[in-house]
Amino acid sequence: MALVTGAESGIGRASAAALAQGGRDIAILYFRDQAAAEATAEMVRAAGRNAACIQADVSDEAAVHAAFDAALAALGPIDCLVNSAGINMAGVAVAEMELSQWHRMFATDMNGVFLTSRRFVRDRHAAGEGGSIVNISSIHAVDVRPGGADYCAAKAAVRSLTETMALEEARHDITVNCVAPGMILTPMNAHAVQDAKYRASLEANVPVGRAGQAEEVAQTVAFLASPAARYITGSTVTIDGGLSLVLGQGA
């Protein structure tokens, strides 16, 4: 069974569907939108698997433990964790950034990954079983953007946590990897999804000439969580249509 955070939307939803198609039941962790979580659950059931929708704020330690308890009770042991919950960058320079924004970003995008991952590996150790964690980082963990200090630093921290935990968990047969998407058309990129002219202006920067779809990220998430990927750990898979390769060009 896989537990997917942020599974009511975007990359989390697509990952839940892809993991279900790969044969796993899914615990759908959602934040605010229960109807959206139920829509993901329908996708999981359409793939012939069981689903449970569980509300949790991933930055809240007690809520994360309660969510894992509820998922276990509903669907049994969790052998795969996908951390997709996240918020977008503040869009302001550090000079203008409030400390509260900095904390808000780290609470969700970093502490959330720490809290779910810690509970996951503790449960796997207690069971004497292996498993897999897949974290959603970003190309902006490395290729930073003005106005994105909060997001870029949090995503770099996720990548670092991924690598540290890969070493710590290797002897426990738990793989820990992350994917680094570029521009993906999800609600996080609502402006680009809704405004074709704006989207085209951004897509002009992508070597393959288009933005990515959540399903394209999800296929890699499902692969990293599959038996075929047992020898891959501590890796970051970039999924960006070549965007990160050209960020250093032109000067």
Ligand X SMILES: NC(=O)c1ccc[n+]([C@@H]2O[C@H](COP(=O)([O-])OP(=O)(O)OC[C@H]3O[C@@H](n4cnc5c(N)ncnc54)[C@H](O)[C@@H]3O)[C@@H](O)[C@H]2O)c1
| Residue 144: partners with Cβ closer than 8 Å, 6 or more residues away | 152
For ligand X, the nearest residue by Cβ is 10
Q: Which is nearer to ligand X, 38 or 129 (CB)?
A: 38
C-alpha span between 20 and 43 (Å, rounded)? 8
Among 6, 22, 148, 241, binds ligand X (CB under 6 A): 6
Among 17, 90, 161, 188, binds ligand X (CB under 6 A): 188
Annotated catalytic residue, options 30, 151, 198, 231? 151
Among 1, 8, 161, 243, binds ligand X (CB under 6 A): 8
The encoded tokens of residue 212 equal 């990515």
| Residue 248: partners with Cβ closer than 8 Å, 6 or more residues away | none
Using the contact rule CB under 6 A, the part of the chain among 57-65, 69-77, 125-133, 242-250 near ligand X is: 57-65
| Residue 234: partners with Cβ closer than 8 Å, 6 or more residues away | 162, 163, 166, 167, 176, 177
Among 174, 184, 222, 237, binds ligand X (CB under 6 A): 184
Find, among 130, 139, 137, the residue nearest to 155 by Cα: 137
Active site residues per annotation: 151
Binding site for ligand X (CB under 6 A): 5-6, 8-12, 31-32, 57-59, 84-87, 108, 136, 138, 181, 183-184, 186-189
